[in-house]
Structure 1
Amino acid sequence: MEVCPNCFEDAELKGFISSSKNIGICKICDSSNVPLLLIDELIDFFQGLIDNFKVLPDGEPLISKIQSNWNFFSTLNIGSIILNEVLSKITSEIKNSEYLVDYTDDIIENFSFWEILKDNLKKSNRYITNIEYLTEDLGWDGFFNTQFELKSSDELYRARVHHKSNLEAYSIKEMMCPPFNLAGGGRANPLGIPYLYLSDNPETVLYEVRASYLDELSIGLFNLKKEIDFVKIVDFTEQTSLFQTTNIKQTIKSKLLRDEISRDLSKPMRRYDSEIEYIPTQFICEFIKIFTGASGIRFCSSLDPSGKNIVMFNQELMECKNVFLKKIDKMHLKAVDHKTKDS
């Protein structure tokens, strides 16, 4: 059996297959004039991948598990064809793509500990926790290497809502973090330790500050200071490639853990939520700052699906270049029905 780049969505694997000099018609996805690679050349990779799953009677079909977490194949059907061929050539208790599976116990333990840690930080041990277990046993200090370079040319934005009408735009200084004695706790920063919250486009910041109809706002434009070429930011938005020649288990563990944390970072605080809910994400940001040396984090905005948020641990890296006024003159609200349990 031969496969082509169009059989997969994984960018690294597509690139690897594209280097093949064998050009022809793919009998799996019917693509014409494409590079073709014998599936046997991917057997070692698939053996390493399948070794990270166990058969579980109440689990999920293998193909669905891989697609839901990784979007690895171009379609479920193509993925099943390839997996069934591969499973006939490797050593595994999993015999076809529909076998019910879950990840191995050590992988489940690794990302599931996030929920245990959250509960512990909120209810039991807020300031002292077993860091050695996180680093030496679970290896979390090596799971935040998915980073990008924030460059001096990248433009970021921050908004502040005015509490009165017809005010002038806030000054550049007022668009920076509040002083430590006025800094409340946020999803990333603890009480009294200000971080600079930014977004990658001016529309996203309107959602993030929950601007309402006729609100007036100041929006600041930010860049890295001109003497700084770039800084490293831990990226919770990047799609991790599953195609690895080594350390597949490490890749799976780190991606699943980051997905768990990312959901909590993006979760908007409702007006009736307690600030205690942010303590776990505050902890993990401190963990990232200490163990990776990164200057901040990037995560998806749950309020604006097209936008990304960036939190800078040190505002002194940034400068506000300009501030402009904006008034919200239209809004689109949509109510969502939720089913309730019968009383």
Structure 2
Amino acid sequence: MYIYNTEVNSELKELFSDFLSIYSSYDEIREVAPSFDNFSSLKEELIDTWNIFNLDKEKIIDLIKGICPEFYIENSDLFSKSVAVRESAQDTYIKEHSILKCNDWDEFVTEITTNIRFNIDLFNKSIFKDVLAAFEEIMDVEVTPHYFRGRIVDKLSYKIDEMGAPPKEQSGNGRANPKGIPCLYLASSEKTCAMEIRAGLHDKITIGEFALEKEIKIINLINIDKISPFSINNVRAHYVNKKYLKRMSAELSKTLGNNSSDLEYLPTQYIADFIKSLGYDGIKFKSTLDPKGHNLAIFNLGSFDCKYVTPYKVENFDVSIGIF
């Protein structure tokens, strides 16, 4: 176990001083943006916005004092008054650094579903590209666990070669792919898999177990709220875009009914297509049906291979499954 002695060690001093300097006190913000009203305490920001410390909020300030005492002395207002990131109160900065040019997710959805679809220009693509870099994840063959894909069947079982992504002529609309462009959707467990395909009581399903065949690079949108500010190139830009990133993750995870309109897929398809155009091999996102699970949308279809198939039968509505 490594113990950081604030009286001896100094490695964190510059990191925290640079990071904390993105904040300004209530009085400073109100001087430049009198109507701005989105303030909180610094300790709440560190816990609720950045998830930096697993500590009681009341102990955080004492820890900061120990890590960077000079910064604490020189910026006492940040620790005694409400704070905000100055750039989040500046319309010019938001316009130049927001992922969405319109600065409104619902307006983006309306535009892409009812007005301009293929040449929509509501994303600041260079900003989005830079922000996405914080969520890059390398999936390595040696350490990546197996993933699962399920299919409801009316026969005994599907075969291994029938468990991959559907061919392009049978590929329908999905969260991360438009009709005609195949995408391999995988789940982190058999249970998550069964829940995601919305199997009903007494349904027979085949679940294929997939192994990663080669190293791939994906965008991981699962832990948006837990991304370290110390791993981000532009913390201020990330801060003003955090609400959009959370919304994207939620939209990718959202369950759509069988009768949902294809239009409902358009916003996430646009985002996924842009991520794919940057050379990423897939996206990782939460499962709303199984809070303990997550999903992959894999663009690089040859990166995973089905190794085994197992037939199951849904035995109750809690999606408890048993081999038959």
Q: How does 1:16-95 map to 2 (within 5 A)?
A: 18-20=3-5, 22=7, 42-50=16-24, 54-55=29-30, 58-63=37-42, 64-73=44-53, 74-79=55-60, 89-90=74-75
Asked whether the equivalents of residues 114 and 261 of structure 1 are also in contact (C-alpha less than 8 Å), the reply is no
Q: Give the TM-score taking structure 1 as reference length.
A: 0.74
Could you list the per-position Cα deviations for residues 113-170 of structure 1 after superposition, in whole angstroms to 9, with x for gaps in the alignment? 4443222111211111227x5124xx111121212222224311000112x3xx2210
Find the residue that maps to 1:142 and give its secondary structure: helix
Are 1:117 and 2:91 counterparts?
no
Indicate the structure with greater helix content: 2
Match of 1:234 among 206, 216, 219: 219
2-side partners of 1:79 and 1:157: how far apart? 41
Identity level (%): 26
Distance 1:151 1:287, change over 3 A: same
2-side partners of 1:208 and 1:121: how far apart? 26
Q: Give the TM-score taking structure 2 as reference length.
A: 0.77
Distance 1:320 1:198, change over 3 A: same
Distance 1:179 1:246, change over 3 A: closer
Structure 2 gaps, min length 5: 320-324
1-side partners of 2:89 and 2:52: how far apart? 19
Find the residue that maps to 1:233 and give its secondary structure: strand
Q: Which amino acid aligns with 1:75?
A: D
Asked whether the equivalents of residues 57 and 101 of structure 1 are also in contact (C-alpha less than 8 Å), the reply is no
Which residue of structure 2 lines up, in the alignment, with residue 301 of structure 1?
A: 287
Aligned length: 296
Find the residue that maps to 1:159 and give its secondary structure: strand
Asked whether the equivalents of residues 15 and 230 of structure 2 are also in contact (C-alpha less than 8 Å), the reply is no
Q: Give the deviation of 1:178 after TM superposition.
A: 1.7
Which residue of structure 2 lines up, in the alignment, with residue 12 of structure 1?
A: none
Q: Which amino acid aligns with 1:180?
A: K
Root-mean-square deviation (Å) = 3.5
Asked whether the equivalents of residues 266 and 302 of structure 1 are also in contact (C-alpha less than 8 Å), the reply is yes
Match of 1:275 among 257, 262, 267: 262
2-side partners of 1:245 and 1:194: how far apart? 32
2-side partners of 1:263 and 1:212: how far apart? 24
Which residue of structure 2 lines up, in the alignment, with residue 332 of structure 1?
A: 318
Which residue of structure 1 lines up, in the alignment, with residue 322 of structure 2?
A: none
Q: Give the deviation of 1:240 after TM superposition.
A: 0.7
Asked whether the equivalents of residues 147 and 186 of structure 2 are also in contact (C-alpha less than 8 Å), the reply is yes
After TM superposition, the structure 1 stretch with the greater mean CA deviation from structure 2, 294-303 or 243-252, is: 243-252
Asked whether the equivalents of residues 88 and 95 of structure 1 are also in contact (C-alpha less than 8 Å), the reply is no
Structure 1 gaps, min length 5: 6-14, 24-34, 334-343
Find the residue that maps to 2:230 and give its secondary structure: coil
Q: Which amino acid aligns with 1:184?
A: G
Q: Which amino acid aligns with 2:179?
A: L
2-side partners of 1:178 and 1:258: how far apart? 29
2-side partners of 1:255 and 1:201: how far apart? 29
Distance 1:96 1:172, change over 3 A: same
Distance 1:260 1:97, change over 3 A: farther
Distance 1:126 1:37, change over 3 A: closer
Which residue of structure 1 lines up, in the alignment, with residue 303 of structure 2?
A: 317
